[in-house]
Chain A
């Protein structure tokens, strides 16, 4: 029963996109591949090689996301990326460099906005053969990915002459050392992610959906989010719906993660909890991720960093990108191929004969990749 729990989490009848093949030959589906920075290219090679050996009917359209500046001064992704994704609908992405606090626009954020990737899905399952301090983890975090605390609406507080704080910019004096950051919660986005979460739970045979929030503190913002979740829940009587305060959820996740099934939440909490859950099963090097957008677009990605310190040294662990690619295959309807590739990965980890350094072994990336190919059987 290799990785049966894992199969259940990453899904068989997954997030089925209304995907229409645009005339590619036979059954081969074209997928947009963004190799990424740092270790991105070498782990992408691992995916390409394993898929080739497994005869997966996927052809890769490689594109660069090096940012371009539009005539009106905005930084965005190149046209070819947009066209490729609109044609193929499905993308696989390696890690991208994000410069913190230097005024550069995050490319990850740009992709999200351009393709309206509204739900981030991260299955976290305990891996046989890779022991962590936490057992029996089999949950999925679903994060609203377009608004919330990440709306980018910030300002320094300003004071009018009569010393009353105001937030418009005319004839105001900046108040030193006071900044405000706006958390935006809308009915549209909240309903959309809630609907997605319940639909996902239904199609994957998951039994419970838990909304995570702090509506006791952010009464209107999280209150609205919660209300939307309850409303959607009413349409899925076969799914058990509950809600939990964010700090309580964190506490419970660390105490007994096996109690959780599907978790849905606004942006920041999802950012934090999805990483926390990845930590429970072994970290970002082992965690797949999928981003679901409007119009059938989906981008699957490795969520770890670019690891510039080991880039180009054949030391990287490609597992996260591989498992994301498997998630992608399921999304595309290639269940058998997904199962075959995933089985080989899980077998390699379980047997622990050829593992990369971060997994406790001493194999090179290419050796680990070859071992997976050998285990395709």
Chain B
């Protein structure tokens, strides 16, 4: 009897249309670095998700892109949306930080607030900005400033 698996299976049974899989955490870490595109939604206990979420943030290409949400599903208390990255004091004030992590966190917030369309538009704008590769901050290999990349994302939201 593995407690975590039992609970997972019980809840999964309520969502038959969702495909599920169970992985040991060491294997999951290995697969995250080798074939991250194989994953969709990953749920894990506290310590394991601490580890996996940090790996995931980097595997997607840059810490500058990873958003995060701390959810109170009952909406009794506020939920908190934030970039995964830290304060980055070493580049503070230089105008080179990647704003996308915060932008994407806002998209998560909009989604949580029930504004699905608005959230989708922001996500689509971010995706286009990254695909076009014209306006990118240094961490993504470009030379745009924080505000330039932010403005481009905003422009694409309007244009989208």
Contacts and interface: CB of A to CB of B under 8 A. Distances in A.
Interface in B60-83: 63
B30 A283 contact: yes
Interface residues of A, number: 26
A179 interface: yes
Interface in A208-228: 214
A272 B26 contact: yes
- At the interface, is chain B mostly helix, strand, loop or mixed? helix
A280 B63 CA distance: 18
Nearest to A218: B47
Interface in B12-67: 25-27, 29-34, 47, 50-51, 54-55, 57-59, 63
Contact of A247 (B5, B26, B51): B51
A280 B58 contact: no
A9 to B, nearest CB: 19
Nearest to A100: B2
B1 interface: yes
B50 A247 contact: yes
A276 B58 contact: no
A251 B58 contact: yes
A254 B51 contact: no
B3 interface: yes
A133 B51 contact: no
A130 to B, nearest CB: 12
Interface string A269-298: 001111110111001100000000000000
A179 B45 CA distance: 13
Which of A133, A247, A271, A278 is the most central at the interface, judged by chain B CB atoms within 10 Å of its CB?
Answer: A247
Interface residues of B, number: 22
A101 to B, nearest CB: 5
B2 A279 contact: no
A275 B29 contact: yes
A248 interface: yes
A280 B33 contact: yes
B29 A272 contact: yes
Contact of A101 (B1, B26, B30, B31): B1
A250 B30 contact: no
A165 to B, nearest CB: 17
A255 B33 contact: no
Contacts of B1: 101
28 contacts: A101-B2, A101-B5, A132-B34, A133-B33, A134-B33, A246-B50, A246-B51, A247-B51, A247-B54, A248-B54, A251-B54, A251-B57, A251-B58, A251-B63, A254-B33, A254-B59, A255-B58, A255-B63, A271-B26, A272-B25, A272-B29, A273-B29, A275-B27, A276-B30, A279-B29, A279-B31, A279-B32, A283-B30
Interface of B: 1-3, 5, 25-27, 29-34, 47, 50-51, 54-55, 57-59, 63
Question: Which 5 pairs of residues, A with B, have the shortest CB-CB distance?
Answer: A279-B30, A275-B26, A276-B29, A279-B33, A254-B58
Given A247-B51, A254-B33, A279-B33, 14 more contacts: A133-B33, A179-B3, A214-B47, A251-B63, A254-B58, A271-B26, A272-B25, A275-B27, A276-B26, A276-B29, A276-B55, A279-B29, A280-B33, A284-B30
